[in-house]
Structure 1
Amino acid sequence: MTMQLAQRHHMDAILSFAEDNARVGHLPGELIGRSWKRCIHEYGLDPCRPRNARIVTHQTLREHQDSVDEFLNVARAGVDQLYGMVAQLGYVLLLTDHRGVTVQYLGDKNSDRRLRQAGLYLGADWSEQYAGTCAVGTCIQEQKALTCHRVDHFDATHIELTCTSAPILDPFGKLLAVLDISALDSPHARHSQTFALNLTQLYARMIEDAYFLRRYRNQVIFRCDASREFVQVNGQYLFAIDDNGRIEASNTAGRALISDTPAAAESEGRPSLTQLFECQLRDIWSIPFDQEDQVRAFRHQSSGDTFFAALVQPRATLARRNRDEAPEVLENVPRLDALAADDPVMRRTLGLARRLRNRDVGLLILGETGTGKEVLARAVHDSSHRSKRAFVAVNCAAIPESLIESELFGYVSGAFTGARAKGMRGLIQQADGGTLFLDEIGDMPLQLQTRLLRVLAEGEILPIGAQSPVRINCRVIAATHQNLEELINKGAFRADLYYRLNGATLRLPPLRQRADRQHVIQSVLKNLIADGGLPDVRIRADAMSALLAHDWPGNIRQLVNALTFAEATCDGREITASDLPEECLSCHPLFVGGRDDVTSGSNPLLDALNEHHWNISRVARHFNVSRPTVYRWMNQQGISSPRFLGHSPD
């Protein structure tokens, strides 16, 4: 089909669509369709009368450039970098102001005449009102990133072009500029521009954020991201804040986060970071002091998701805060501090435990099975003034109901048949002066709950068969994975005992929700090595990725078992993904799908074996592991070497 005929078909398609009778030619998507209708019904453009590219005068261009001069100084580095990535693919780069006039342009000088004729040039006006449906003009109208590919364009002279644009917004959400990459001769397939769209959006965000940082360079900026590793260099959310933590401006991602947080979105006046995250003002200003990497974890008020934050501070502000406003530093308590690194829930839990460790108020520790409730209780005891006396742990779910009373309260000589001749001090009495830890308190029988309540209320116990009570002075810490309030409603737990035990609640998050999972993994391994007197062993990156991706339904208890297994079975002194228990590999790329992938042909190990003709040494080098590891992988996934091969698999 000649170009003239193609243009004629395109004009007919637009007219047919505008008349709601789209029976010929290209049927546009919803966004492009809206633009076509605007061109005809609002701007009065005629698809049968193509318009030449409009290049504004030098004086007009200068006026447009001057209006965004500070922005252009910031954007130039990003524009140059993006053009360097796409130039060899035949793209030119346009940066327009909010009215669609190209204020910065990079293109191939060898194609200068064709580019100017097509309007891919400095000073070109790509507003939708003049140029019709196009990436820049439609991006301005829709405030969305888009690709206008070939026959998406309204003007028939543009149907060989492909153009991709993304909006750049100012700190208050107002359109500031449009970033565009375009090509004169593009492939016919629309999906060929998917990467162009993603790349343009990425650089638009980078330029937008660089401008935000420049504009608020004299204010404190709270920068956060879902990744701790990237927050300092590429934090997705930016908030300029005042001394009271109130948000004065934010980038696009930050504004979206505010709108998703009712407490912040509905606040009168400027919202505060304390309405956006579960924190206090001191938590924000202490970010540079709390962790070596000057990053701190926060939990989002609405979703509960974890974000990692850093502060970008002007030099004068930083000096003043270091001198005059260094935050209160809590007393170091090594046994408690060792239980976590930087997790918001653990930080709050350990802060409360630190303050209450020397108080005789009852503590109730809540958390899923395996989260370390007894470890926390023991750390509270070891950090308290009772540390030189006994810590007695009682698993209320493990003692047979027929024995629990005698185990807890003890008995005197001759109290019942089979009793010891000298009687026995019960566990509560053994904890005198120290700490009594009642694990799985939700499983204690109601009758025993009544007696325990009396002990707590009166500070004395009556051993079985005794005539007079025995005074005791112990701190009680209880723990459970159950919902005690639901048990109270069902009549399975005494409300008065609940309130007696619950002087303060310490909550332990499940391992899968902890922001410091990597610290926990390394700490558990370190303790295993120390307790067993073992040589040092390290966790390789592939194994750490698999461990971090696992859901850990058994929490830290399951992690201990997994690392114990991995340490015992690893080759040398390095744990790789293949050394982990099979249940830990459900999210690891090499093992996703397990044996099912072997039969489907999508298994990476089987693919590598076939590629290297079942030469195990080459496959081991391919994955950078030892030959025994490859054999173990094959065994785990039920892969056997084919017998018909005429050469050695080694």
Structure 2
Amino acid sequence: MVEKHGELIREAVFSKSGAGRSALTASWSRSLLVHGLDPEALHHRELADDMSCRQALEQFGALAAIADNAMNRLFAAVGSSGCCVVLTDATGLIVARRGKPGDDESFREWGLWRGTDWSEAAEGTNGIGTCLVEQRPVTIDRAQHFFHRNIAMSCMGAPLFDHEGELAGVLDISSCRADLTDSFPLLLRNAVADAAHQIETENFIGSFAGFRVIVGASKTSAGPELFAVDKDDLLIGATRRARRNHGLSRGTFKKLRPIRDVLEDAQPGPDLGAAERAELRRALAHANGNASKAARDLGISRASLYRRIAKLSLRS
């Protein structure tokens, strides 16, 4: 059985057919040819020490507390189904996990434990390492794993990106149940992807507390499209999805750029009249239509306010 698994992988990797060029085969190829791993190999996994895990977790910053709460919610939903939930850093090191005590011995034996390296370089094709490489939600179901020793598992990983769109780690649900139906991994994949998106959203909003956050129009399952703007509607931040959809690089945020230049296909020249009209309307709305109060808020006289209202054909 072990030899057959290895033969299947080698046959797919060296195949010249179209079927041999799938995303799964590409990961097997990296494992075999780039990392030099042997699918039949059996070796003892070494755990990173507790200090290394703590330091890795500290690199998450504020995202760590958000992820911790999300892991609790996710485990409450799937823990009774024989699953564990793990969080890794951007290198594939498991820095936190949730599991039922009765399942801990099995998961520890399988390496789903704090301090284990699940990068592709260490474990070949798997739901964590392959997710890190491809930076998208990934399901590696049983015999899709590179190592034969891992084929009892089904692993569903989703990447986590920080408020600057950088890869921070992976949120993963793993199950070692042999009686999983074909639809169950898909449900788990959707659950972990939704949880990862929620973490990213909460972290982004928290990172730009005090600023306005705008939700983009993109309706996909690839993550939140959010933008942060200052009081003058100048762009100061965006999630990874927003950056990818609108061609925003790190350099974009080093210079001032109006959000309308990003979100509008047509980019008309500045309309000072429209800007002034909007400011007057906001001031009047804030003052509940009281012109005197609106004028004070704007730092102008009541007479000046009335002249501008008349010029712009507004109603006070």
**Residue 16 in 1 paired to residue 11 in 2?**
yes
Distance 1:283-1:226 versus aligned 2 partners, 3 A rule: farther
Alignment equivalent of 2:112, drawn from 106, 116, 120: 120
What are the superposed Cα offsets for residues 293-330 of structure 1, whole Å, 9 maximum, x if unpaired?
xxxxxxxxxxxxxxxxxxxxxxxxxxxxxx9569xxxx
Q: What corresponds to 2:234 in structure 1?
A: 246
CA distance in 2, matches of 1:138, 1:356: 60
Instruction: Report the alpha carbon displacement of residue 242 of structure 1 after superposing the two structures with TM.
Output: 2.4
Instruction: Report the alpha carbon displacement of residue 33 of structure 1 after superposing the two structures with TM.
Output: 0.8
**Residue 168 in 1 paired to residue 160 in 2?**
yes
**What TM-score, normalized to structure 1?**
0.39
Residue pair 2:283, 2:297 contacting (<8 A) in 1 also? no
Instruction: Report the alpha carbon displacement of residue 48 of structure 1 after superposing the two structures with TM.
Output: 2.1
Q: What corresponds to 1:159 in structure 2?
A: 151
Q: What corresponds to 1:546 in structure 2?
A: none
Alignment equivalent of 2:32, drawn from 40, 44, 49: 40
Residue pair 2:277, 2:312 contacting (<8 A) in 1 also? no
**Secondary structure, in 3 states, of the residue corresponding to 1:135?**
coil
Matches within 5 A, 1:12-411: 12-20=7-15, 30-187=22-179, 189-223=181-215, 236-259=224-247, 269=255, 271-277=257-263, 324=297
Instruction: Report the alpha carbon displacement of residue 76 of structure 1 after superposing the two structures with TM.
Output: 1.4
CA distance in 2, matches of 1:28, 1:190: 23
CA distance in 2, matches of 1:289, 1:200: 44
**Number of residue pairs matched by the alignment:** 283
Instruction: Report the alpha carbon displacement of residue 183 of structure 1 after superposing the two structures with TM.
Output: 0.4
Distance 1:224-1:171 versus aligned 2 partners, 3 A rule: same
Gaps of 5+ in 2: 268-273, 287-295, 300-304, 306-310
Instruction: Report the alpha carbon displacement of residue 51 of structure 1 after superposing the two structures with TM.
Output: 3.2
Residue pair 1:164, 1:180 contacting (<8 A) in 2 also? yes
Residue pair 1:164, 1:197 contacting (<8 A) in 2 also? yes
RMSD: 3.7
Q: What corresponds to 1:624 in structure 2?
A: none
Residue pair 1:162, 1:186 contacting (<8 A) in 2 also? no
Residue pair 2:218, 2:225 contacting (<8 A) in 1 also? no
Instruction: Report the alpha carbon displacement of residue 281 of structure 1 after superposing the two structures with TM.
Output: 6.0
Distance 1:274-1:43 versus aligned 2 partners, 3 A rule: same
Residue pair 1:65, 1:103 contacting (<8 A) in 2 also? yes
CA distance in 2, matches of 1:283, 1:162: 58
Range that drifts further, 249-258 or 145-154? 249-258
CA distance in 2, matches of 1:180, 1:80: 13
Gaps of 5+ in 1: 228-234, 293-322, 332-353, 358-382, 384-650
Residue type of the alignment partner of 1:49:
A
Instruction: Report the alpha carbon displacement of residue 180 of structure 1 after superposing the two structures with TM.
Output: 0.3
Instruction: Report the alpha carbon displacement of residue 277 of structure 1 after superposing the two structures with TM.
Output: 4.0
**Secondary structure, in 3 states, of the residue corresponding to 2:171?**
strand
Residue type of the alignment partner of 1:93:
V
Instruction: Report the alpha carbon displacement of residue 159 of structure 1 after superposing the two structures with TM.
Output: 0.5
What are the superposed Cα offsets for residues 49-100 of structure 1, whole Å, 9 maximum, x if unpaired?
1333342122221221222242211211111111111111111000111111
CA distance in 2, matches of 1:281, 1:205: 35
CA distance in 2, matches of 1:10, 1:284: 67
**Secondary structure, in 3 states, of the residue corresponding to 1:126?**
coil
- Structure with greater contact order relative to length (CA < 8 Å, sep ≥ 6): 2
**What TM-score, normalized to structure 2?**
0.77
**Secondary structure, in 3 states, of the residue corresponding to 2:62?**
helix
CA distance in 2, matches of 1:284, 1:86: 49
Residue pair 2:227, 2:242 contacting (<8 A) in 1 also? yes
Structure with max Cα Rg: 1
Residue pair 2:13, 2:20 contacting (<8 A) in 1 also? no
Q: What corresponds to 2:302 in structure 1?
A: none
CA distance in 2, matches of 1:155, 1:284: 62
**Secondary structure, in 3 states, of the residue corresponding to 1:178?**
strand
CA distance in 1, matches of 2:281, 2:137: 35
Instruction: Report the alpha carbon displacement of residue 158 of structure 1 after superposing the two structures with TM.
Output: 0.7
Distance 1:266-1:112 versus aligned 2 partners, 3 A rule: closer
Instruction: Report the alpha carbon displacement of residue 9 of structure 1 after superposing the two structures with TM.
Output: 1.7
Identity of aligned residues (%): 23
CA distance in 2, matches of 1:205, 1:74: 11
CA distance in 1, matches of 2:217, 2:129: 32
Residue type of the alignment partner of 1:17:
A
Instruction: Report the alpha carbon displacement of residue 248 of structure 1 after superposing the two structures with TM.
Output: 1.5
Instruction: Report the alpha carbon displacement of residue 171 of structure 1 after superposing the two structures with TM.
Output: 2.4
Residue pair 1:245, 1:272 contacting (<8 A) in 2 also? yes
Distance 1:97-1:286 versus aligned 2 partners, 3 A rule: farther
Instruction: Report the alpha carbon displacement of residue 28 of structure 1 after superposing the two structures with TM.
Output: 7.4
Instruction: Report the alpha carbon displacement of residue 29 of structure 1 after superposing the two structures with TM.
Output: 7.4
Matches within 5 A, 1:442-461: none
